[in-house]
Structure 1
Amino acid sequence: MSHLERRANRWYAVLTIPKEVRPKLNGKIRFVKSTGTADKRIAQSRAYALVAQWKDQIAKAQGGEEAEGSFLDGVLEYRQELEALRRNDRDQYEALAGVIIEKAEKLDAQGYPEDAQQLARIALGEQTPIAPELKDWSDNLHLKPKTAEQMEKDAKRMATHFEIIEAIDLESVREWAKTLMLPKDQDGHGYGVSSVKRCFSAARSVWHHLQEIGKAPADREPFKLPSFVQRQERATASKNRNGSKGWSAFEPIDVVRLRRAAMDDGDESLVDLIDLGMYTGARIEELCSLRTGDSSPDRLRITDSKTNAGIREIPVHRELKSTVKRLLAESKDGYLLSGLTFNKYGDRSNAIGKRFGRLKVRHGFGSSYVFHSIRKTVVTLLEDAGVSENLTADIVGHEKPRITYGLYSGGHSLDSKFKAIQLLKYPKI
């Protein structure tokens, strides 16, 4: 953009002021000032300096925290103009480069030496900011919307930390991993191993994109998981094998108390969800996806599950029959749990799951307790009642623990599952 306007025999520098800023700049619509010359080359050089000053005024009026010359204000526009001028007009290139250096010197004088250096280096092409490259990268992601959104968040987190491509090397990446794992009260993110690995996966994807477009060295792979993260991962895996990690099971009395609390809150949908969970052991997503056409007072057919073993029929417990009959009669949208809303990923369990999360927190249950904990309660009750592991697996939709039954068995009969599921008993309060 030239920011020039010819009036009579003189060139004027002009810059339109954003509408939201005009009241703070005496209602001006545009900045306009004569460059004092009819020579367009000279006028262009003078206009660059004037426009830089005006942009500083706009930044301050918009509430920028830094003084005039705020870091990276217009830097990408400067860079684009410089790249065009380098090819087409060396004199104007030198003029604009001089304006940028003056702007950087002003930042340095105001006490921002690091910002001054980055401003000059980025504008002059010595350094490349990461953030502007993320859009092209994300446009080429072919993932489910929810996965892509999480990956984009992690990529932005990486770009915010490093800012420029040239700052990325093995040592700085190692320090980033430490920052991700540091507790929040120590200015870290408090991430566990799985979250760190997720962030590194997004970062590697961005890095490979930068390599493909020639903006990152092709012979470097800095986003390798540091050894201390790998050691932590192995330690976590060992704990998992020993059963010291995972969701905790509610005590049966706690499930009943949470149900009572939901009833006292007047949250009828949550009461129904807890009822279904405590007498089926089904996952929350399975219950919220139950169609009326797959449901009857005698059995529930799970047709939408995260695993093949999850596709199954569950007999309706005698304590659940009246609830299922009522839900079938009241449904207005073809779902057993009617009236739940879809989130942007087509998930009906999201909002009601959050309500359960708030409920259990209010009643003193920590992060190891979730709706899935009711599923663990059901499995525990069936085990205590003497139900075999294979029969329990057929009820709750787990893979069979032994290869013979897992590969060759067609599963227990509905009658066998009915007799087992009637053994689920909860205390009265």
Structure 2
Amino acid sequence: MASSQQYLEWHGQQWRVVVFIPRNLQSILGRTRFKQPLGTADLRHANELKWPVVTRMKSAIAQARRAAASSNPREAEALHLRLHADDEGTQYWLHDRAQRIAATEGHEAAAAFYGLASGQATPLDHHASAFLTFKADYRLKTRGDFERVLRWLGDWLRTEHLPVTLEGVTRKTAGRFIEQALVVGRDRKKATAYLGFLREYWKWLKLRGHVEDSPWVGQELPAAPRPNRDAEPDRGKRAYTDDETARLVHGPVADLMHPPPSLYLSDLMHIAALSGMRLEEICQLRLADCADGNFQVHYGKTANATRTIPIHPDLAGLVARRSEGKSESAHLIDGLPDIPASRDSRSDPAAKAFTRYRRKIGVDERPNGKAKSNVDFHSFRRWFIRKAVEALEGGNPGFTPWTIADVVGHDDEGAKDILRLTMRHYPGQSGDAAKRALVEAVKLPTARSPRHQTDSPIENPKR
């Protein structure tokens, strides 16, 4: 928990803000720390006044960090000078420096240098850190996607010999970037998501007064080309078939994979197929969350993800085996590495290991050379829901469609607008008996004939 005196120092009978500068940036900023008096002796008032000052100081540090990291010497020089643009005499020196650059590199290079160094032009990512602070709900993966598309935009601007500044991104420029770079080599869904990040960034920049308008509003992706008549049909992401589920869960995991994946993949697949949980939800389970015959999911992808799921009878032995001799704080699925600072999900290594295993088994679907398969670990969740629906359609299973939504942690979709008060608000979530009836209605398919579970010879399997 942050101290009430964070960034504060008592000096001269009043509080002042103090922010220390990283050692490698001190020569750029010409000091070891920023200091600014707040003109008050009242600690509570000082805490109210300090945050805008701290934000401004950290912005200067971020700017210095960009100057230090720039691989372009001219850009690094301009960013360095920008930090001191308000110092006495600096503007006169900038004019002289720009004239010398014009004489050797041309007017455009000089104008770009002067605009950046004087503060009249703003680097493309100048406010990116502040934007991400505003978007505190962004997960690490989402933050990475935003930073990635902003970097792509910057690289494209440099390739086109355009200024890598906010002012340099006009409506015409934005349209060219979309057609020449954003949609190249990626599907429309992903390109749409990246375009959304740019819209959000410029929306925030306009809100804060950093730009007058957003060049991304109203921009659309080019129309998708009509499929060739000879193209394979592509229905998108789907559930596993019963045959694929059997091949995966009963497959020779130990023969195809090295530890540690070989020690947990089989259990992961069984839990997913018989609970409908997402991969990250399974990987976050601790033994304390597997008590009294239920899995307890505390948080997840959506608000509805917090839920209780009865443990399928066929999973009871698995849970008991993985719980033996361990504390309640231990993860049910062990063998996964600690989460590094570069990501916020525990399941990433398991997802990659499963993809390798799935391909070795020969369960894949990439119509027309599609980059990503239509089947993945999430297909177990789709399979679980399909089997529950099949049981429901079979008649009198002891649960309702609402129970399926409760067990898998989905919103009630259209039904919430029709019978929300009657079916959800008044009675609450589905009861334990209905949930258990649903879970037990799902049965794993038996192992298929001994064709070694794969359609093609396996070379060097434990790779």
TM-score class, shorter-chain normalisation, is: 0.5 to 0.7
Partners of 1:353 and 1:308 lie apart in 2 by 23
**C-alpha offsets along residues 301-340 of structure 1, whole Å, 9 cap, x if unaligned?**
2232334443333222222121111011154552222343
The CA deviation string for residues 278-312 of structure 1, in whole angstroms up to 9 with x for no partner, is 11111222212222112137332223233444333
Unaligned runs of 5+ in 2: 1-70, 158-163, 227-233, 366-372, 449-463
Please say if residues 181 and 191 of structure 1, whose CA atoms lie closer than 8 Å, have aligned partners that are also in contact.
no
Distance 1:100 1:75, change over 3 A: farther
Aligned partners of 2:313 and 2:358: how far apart in 1? 26
For each residue in 1:370-417, what CA deviation from the matched residue of structure 2 results, as whole angstroms up to 9, or x when unmatched?
211101111111222234423333332333445332333334432333
Give me the whole-angstrom Cα distance separating, in 2, the residues matched to 1:89 and 1:310.
Answer: 57
- The corresponding residue for 2:358 is 360
1:82/1:96 contact within 8 Å kept: no
CA distance, structure 1, for counterparts of residue 84 and residue 309 of structure 2: 69
Look up the match of 2:11: none
CA RMSD of aligned residues (A): 3.6
Deviation readout 1:2-49 (Å, 9 max, x if unpaired): xxxxxxxxxxxxxxxxxxxxxxxxxxxxxxxxxxxxxxxxxxxxxxxx
The CA distance in 2 between the partners of 1:341 and 1:78, in whole Å, is 40
**Number of positions where the alignment pairs a residue of Structure 1 with one of Structure 2:** 329
The answer (yes or no) to whether the contact 1:203–1:223 under 8 Å persists in 2 is: no
Q: 1:132 to 1:326 in 2, by over 3 A?
A: closer
Q: Which has the higher helix share?
A: 1
The partner residue of 1:348 within 346, 349, 371 is: 346
Q: Which runs of structure 2 are paired with 1:281-292 in the superposition (5 Å)?
A: 281-292=276-287
* Greater Rg over alpha carbons, structure: 1
Deviations along 1:225-283, one digit per CA (max 9) or x if unpaired, are 31456x77xx9xxxxxxxx9653100122123223143432512111111111111112
Q: Partners of 1:93 and 1:76 in 2: how far apart? A: 9
The DSSP-based 3-state class of the residue aligned with 2:300 is: coil
Q: Which residue of 1 aligns with 2:423?
A: 405
Tell me which residue corresponds to 1:390.
Answer: 402
The DSSP-based 3-state class of the residue aligned with 2:387 is helix
Could you tell me which of 309, 313, 325 is aligned with 1:314? 309
- Cα distance in structure 2, aligned partners of 1:223 and 1:379: 39
Letter of the 2:379 counterpart: S
Offset at 1:142? Answer: 4.5
- Aligned residue number for residue 16 of structure 2: none
Q: What's the counterpart of residue 225 of structure 1?
A: 218
| Structure 1 contact 298–316 (Cα < 8 Å) conserved | yes
Write the letter of the residue equivalent to 2:97: L
Deviations 1:149-169 (A, max 9, x none): 332222222233332344322
Ranked by relative contact order (alpha carbons within 8 Å, sequence separation 6 or more), the top structure is 2
Q: Among the aligned pairs, what percent are the same residue?
A: 18
Please state if 1:325 is matched with 2:320.
yes
Instruction: Tell me how far apart the structure 1 counterparts of residues 409 and 97 of structure 2 sit (CA, whole Å).
Output: 68
Q: Which residue of 2 aligns with 1:128?
A: 121
Residue 238 of structure 2 corresponds to residue 248 of structure 1: yes
Q: Which runs of 5+ in 1 are unaligned?
A: 1-63, 65-69, 105-115, 236-243
2:253: which partner in 1?
Answer: 262
Give the 3 Å change call, closer, same or farther, for CA 280–84 of structure 1 in structure 2: closer
* Residues 280/136 of structure 1: CA separation in 2 closer, same or farther (3 Å cut): closer
Please name the residue that 1:241 is paired with.
none
Runs of 4+ in structure 1 off by over 6 angstroms are none
TM-score (norm 1): 0.64
